[in-house]
Structure 1
């Protein structure tokens, strides 16, 4: 069955571009022109992934994401005309899985959506639990805990941390993390990974683990101290 994608953008031309690209790739599409309309459409026709423009009237994409996250873990990809760090960080903190900056390549958008859906659809092996010191990652339950504290991670954040935890002594470059998390032949800015790592660090620091991810200057990142 074809995946259902909800596109929310107040620019009809952009909706047309996205719809044509996704329909040509075999997806089914629902559209909305505002944040409030997006919530209505999501309630009427459950989507497998939501594409949210950040700058929409009546309710922007960030507020719409907040509302959706209260009732669903559906993957969310942001569209934004503002390539500012605050948009990326806030979007990921609210539960976004990825973002694309306008103007964008429709082909790249389709590839990112396919990568997100493939990762979401892949069942975790039975009893797939990774434990490193106080860190415990349960991929079946999508649950991450540090000692007794649960970290509320997005799908991408969970995948990034799971990749590091499964090879705790390995240093991963940005490109290696992108390949592990998004799959091969995916072209993303390293800043995307940086934003996810920054969010994981912030959440771990709030749980009392400030050194969960360690930077190895000039090379990349690795799992850091997981024990208080």
Structure 2
């Protein structure tokens, strides 16, 4: 077994199938990731609380507490990156996982290189950088502050407030909001968002964008993000 790379992001793998769990753990450790495992949802929750990892790799179908339920419980306590694994590709299964708070999903069976690429992509979102030039700041606002009505996005501190109240966002949600606030009123096509937010230059599943937009709307106000049917979304300009 390859020794974990010092300082490498720690992964908590929650998978009930012993063969898949061990094979995935060994494969990820060969890439230098320290991996801790759990065999059911409740054990996964306990291990998360005992020693929060840098990323959670989570199977959908788990005993005691399923993956969707576990994802929701963790989202109540943390915004850490979550990648879900599933052999089920029906829209309702994919959307349920994303709506529960997952950042992305990968379909079983998968090649290790594909899984590692997805993990690295999700982890990159935790090292957020402001997305493009900020619009002109409101009078008296700092240079890194984007103000649109009562929505404030601090691109330096990476904090979001609505009507003065902090709004907790996952790294993916924050990157999405940074894209919208960099160009209010400008149409953002789904493929453009996949490339900029998810780092996908190939034809990935656009449902990931739709569900994350829904989650973002629920946190900052549904009316702020307009749907341009058949194309994508745009942030409403200040009136």
TM (normalized to structure 1)? Answer: 0.82
Provide the secondary structure at the position in 2 that maps to 1:95.
Answer: coil
**TM-score using structure 2 length:** 0.79
| Cα distance in 1 for residues equivalent to 2:145 and 2:120 | 26
Q: Matches of 1:49 and 1:128 in 2, distance apart?
A: 28
Residues 22 and 187 of structure 1, relative CA distance in 2, 3 Å threshold: farther
Match of 1:170 among 174, 182, 186: 186
Q: 2:173 aligns with which of 140, 154, 157?
A: 157
In the alignment, structure 1 residue 222 sits paired with structure 2 residue 234: yes
Which residue in 2 is equivalent to 1:28? 34
Give the distance between the partners of 1:226 and 1:83, measured in 2 at CA: 39
Per the TM alignment, residue 148 of structure 1 is displaced from its structure 2 partner at its CA by 4.4
> Counterparts in 2 of 1:58-207, with a 5 A limit?
58-122=64-128, 128-139=144-155, 142-148=158-164, 151-183=167-199, 185=201, 188-204=204-220
Bigger Cα displacement from structure 2, 186-195 vs 117-126: 117-126
Find the aligned partners of 2:100 and 2:10 in 1 and give their Cα distance. Answer: 22
Q: Which moved more, 1:87-96 or 1:165-174?
A: 87-96
Q: For the pair shown, which has the larger CA radius of gyration, 1 or 2?
A: 2
Deviates more, 1:82-91 or 1:9-18: 82-91
Q: Report the CA distance between 1:2 and its aligned residue.
A: 1.5
Q: Secondary structure at the match of 1:160?
A: helix
Gaps of 5+ in 1: none
Structure 1 position 211, deviation (Å): 2.6
Report the counterpart of residue 5 of structure 1 in structure 2: 11
Q: How far off its partner does 1:35 sit?
A: 0.9
Q: Equivalent residues in 2 for 1:41-56 (5 A)?
A: 41-56=47-62
| Length, aligned pairs only | 223
Please give the alpha-carbon distance, in whole angstroms, between the structure 1 residues aligned to 2:42 and 2:125: 28
Instruction: Check 1:192–1:70 CA distance in 2 against 1; reply closer, same or farther (3 A cut).
Output: closer
Whose helix fraction is larger, Structure 1's or Structure 2's?
1
| Structure 1 stretch displaced more, 16-25 or 160-169 | 16-25
CA distance in 1, matches of 2:58, 2:211: 18
Structure 1 residue matching 2:74: 3-state secondary structure:
helix
> Offset at 1:152?
4.4
